[in-house]
Amino acid sequence: MGGDFGPQVTVPACLTFLKSSPHSKIILVGQQKLIERYLPANYSSRIEIVHASAVVSMNDKPSSYLKGQQDTSLENCISLLADKNADAAVSAGNTGAMMILGKKIAGCHPAIDRPALVAPIPRLDGKTAFVLDIGANVDCSADTLVQFAFLGATVSKALTNTEDPKVFLLNIGTESIKGSQQVRYADQMLQNKVDSLNYQGFLEANRLITGNADVVVCDGFSGNVLLKAIEGSMKLSLDNLYKAFEANLYNRLVGFLALPVLKRTVPDLDPRYKNGTLFVGLKQILIKAHGASDEFAFRKALETAKQSAESEVVKRVGQSLDAMMDQELV
């Protein structure tokens, strides 16, 4: 039901997803009549509808959706997840509500106070930098940032088998006098944890892609700005290129020859190809799709959910966190 477009985007995306994923099933949770409007008359037996009378809107404050049983699509969806009736849940809806209901219904790993949204960012050298938080926790204390550092390290280990992930704190300079008080406190705390974490210090936003960071820790405000700025720039680069290849006949001819080459760079450049971010720290797989997801982007988020379930990411992150707890590191 969520996101900027609701079922008119999410339902067709599910239908396309099922075609390419013959062993997957989808439970659509929301207003049955509205959902059925976007389904063919004889829809696949791999689709099930679970009705929910209410919807958490993008503007709803926690006080409105935390009053117990509200029969909202988000609440019912996460309940299906918590009751093991689903392996992963995806929503393009209210991020804050997803975090709070996720924590309340699915529950957090005991080592973690607040789940974080983590985004995998492709580095120039082909490896992956995991950025957290990217929008679920707007204000973060130094303690929370330190917890995210450990959480990020377990994600990097679990998802990319990185042995001793290099962990950085996002800052606006590399000198110790730079940045907000929380960031400077978190830096001091992390400097004292070198035995249990490969902490490397501050990282500036321009070094995220070109550097060697495996984990980048930040509050949800600056993390969100970071990700959306990258997304916007990629779009600008693409548009600039296409404009340049249209300027005159010679350029159009070259553009025609160059198109197959350029197309190969598109998956790296187009942010819609990388949709769906995981709430880490929860006991189940909950995926946040971009609020502005179109059908293509929402399908990518469904694929992220499927891959997350197949790779048992939550189980593996949980095992890493268990090990850290056993060693009394977190």
Residues that bind a copy of itself (CB under 8 A): 58-61, 95-96, 124, 135, 138-139, 170, 172-173, 175-181, 204-210, 218, 220-222, 224-241, 243-245, 247, 250-251, 254-255, 257-258, 261-262, 264-265, 268-269, 291
Closer residue to a copy of itself (CB): 105 or 129: 129
Bridge-based pairing of strands 167-170 and 215-217 is parallel
CB of 3 to a copy of itself, least distance (A): 12
Cα distances (angstroms) measured from residue 93 to each of 96, 270, 276 = 9, 22, 12
Closer residue to a copy of itself (CB): 185 or 312: 185
Closer residue to a copy of itself (CB): 124 or 323: 124
CB of 173 to a copy of itself, least distance (A): 7
CB of 92 to a copy of itself, least distance (A): 13
Closer residue to a copy of itself (CB): 37 or 252: 252
CB of 257 to a copy of itself, least distance (A): 5
Closer residue to a copy of itself (CB): 192 or 210: 210
Closer residue to a copy of itself (CB): 110 or 122: 122
CB of 251 to a copy of itself, least distance (A): 5
Q: How far is CA 161 from the centre of its chain?
A: 19
CB of 44 to a copy of itself, least distance (A): 34
Closer residue to a copy of itself (CB): 38 or 148: 148
CB of 72 to a copy of itself, least distance (A): 16
